[in-house]
Every structure is written in C-alpha cells, then in structure tokens.
Amino acid sequence: PWENRLNSSCLSVPLFNQKKRNRVPLTSAPSENEFFSHSIRQETQPQQYGGTRPAPGPAPRMTTYTPMPHPYKAGSTGFLIINTCTQQETFPVKPAIENSLRILTAVIDGMRHWSQFKDKVSYLFEIFATLDSAVTLGRHGAKNFLMRNGKTVVQCVFYENEQKLPRLIRGQLHRCVGNYDRSRDVLMCVSIRPGLPSELQNAQEAVKACDAEMRALVKSLNEV
C-alpha cells in the first residue's frame, strides 16, 4: 500500500504545481543528435515542510557526489527504481557453475575420487570412519592417525590451533570434516568428534545425494 500511494503521488502530474517548474539546462554541451534539451531542475531554496524538524534541503549540486550515511539498508527506498539507462540492459544472471564452497559427505574412496575436480570447485569432505591407529605426534604439533572404511584407509592430520583433539578411541566410529590434500593423500581434519551409529547409517543417503550431485556437476564441467 505504501508503494502504491507513493507512486501514484509522485506520478500524477495534476497534483503538482506545473507553473513553478523552470528548465535549467545542464552545462554539458548537447550532442548533435539531441532534439530535446535535457534538463534537470534543482530547487534553489529550502522548502517549508510541516513539523518540528528541518526540511530536507536542496539536493547538492549534481557534480558533487556526497555519499550519505543512512540508517536503513539499501534497497528499500520505496520509490520506483529509476533506471538511468535509456535501454534495457541484459545483465549476466548466473555463473554457469556454482563455485562457492560445498561440503560433501563421502566414503574414503569417494573422497579420493571427487578430489580430482578440486581445481574447478572448492569443497570440504565429511566422512564417517573408524579410528584405525593410535594418535601420534608429528611435526609442528600435528596429531596423526588413520581412519578406515571397510578395507580403505586414509591418513589424517589434525592441528590443535583452536581446539584440542578430543579423546579418540581406536576401533570406534568418528566423524571428520576436513580438506583432502590429494598430493599427499592426507585428510587435513578441521573438525573431529565421535560419531553416532545412527549418523553412520543415515549418512549413506547423504553420500548417495552427494555422488549424484557430483556426477551432474562433472558432466556440466565437461560440457563447458
């Protein structure tokens, strides 16, 4: 309702006093092809608006660009959008391939497979696997351990930058989220915790959905 009121008020010409309008030509020289003199009038004196607050003053001269701080977020001025281009422009609507971060639930083999497309898309992996080694201390405080899915094992590393490695129990299910380093065949874990049996069971469906998404993505990568 607000917008309608505003639009109709702004656009219904008879509401305004037409006689007061002056045409002030712009200083720029009109091009040879211009038939109409393009003029924008600016008020030269402040207007009286009711109320206790000072009226909005004259707009600054057009040549000065003064960005004003404003409490409201942009995008909801309530006015018609003034398209300052004289022609409908076509804008790029969407990049062909979504390249924001993805998080894929995968089994270890799947993680190794999908990581070959890392230069095209960025992703982290979530895996559910069994701790298959003791935790050993590496260089720069690295905590190293092995994770297993069936017959497949992957080397993992965790750095205690922000949080300590929680107590991990060998032979138990864990959930790891991290970045797979293909060249070193190591999963750099950023989050690790014990996994719930129900999570492992339910993760199968997530793995399927992620595989399907990745197959479709790889197909579209090949088409581009």
Partner 1 sequence: THSWDREAIQLVQTLIPRETVLFIADVKISFDSFRNGMAATVNSKTIITVNPDTREASMLFSYAREVAESGALDQDEKAEDMSVDSITDVFTVSQLKEKAQESPEAFFGIMYSFISKLDLDSSVSKVIRTRCSRCKFQVTDDMQSCTNQLCPGRDQGLSATTGFDLLVDFSDHTGTLHACSLRSPVAEHTLGCTVKEFTSLTDEERTAMKWKFLLERCKIYVKILPSPKARTGIRGMVLACSLADPGEVKQHMSALVQ
Q: Is 188 in the site for partner 1 (CB under 8 A)?
A: no
Q: Is 224 in the site for partner 1 (CB under 8 A)?
A: no
Which residue's CB is nearer to partner 1, number 49 or number 219? 49
**What single DSSP character describes residue 37?**
-
As measured in angstroms, the least distance from the Cβ of 25 to partner 1 is 11
Contacting range for partner 1; rule: CB under 8 A; set: 136-144, 146-154, 179-187, 204-212: 204-212
Which residue's CB is nearer to partner 1, number 49 or number 151? 49
Cα–Cα dist 178/103, whole Å? 9
- Binding mask 31-70 vs partner 1 (x if CB under 8 A, - otherwise)? --xxxx-xxxxxx---xxxxxxx-xxxxxxxxxxxxxxxx
Three-state secondary structure call for residue 101? coil
Say if CB 175 and CB 156 are below 8 A apart. Answer: no
Of 190, 189, 191, 207, which Cα lies nearest the Cα of 104?
207
Of 101, 187, 184, which Cα lies nearest the Cα of 149?
187
**Phi/psi at 122 (nearest 5 deg)?**
-100, 135
Q: Copy the structure tokens of residue 179.
A: 């970045």
Q: Is 137 in the site for partner 1 (CB under 8 A)?
A: no
Candidate residues 141, 208, 220, 221; the one interacting with partner 1 per rule CB under 8 A: 208
As measured in angstroms, the least distance from the Cβ of 81 to partner 1 is 5
Which residue's CB is nearer to partner 1, number 86 or number 183? 86
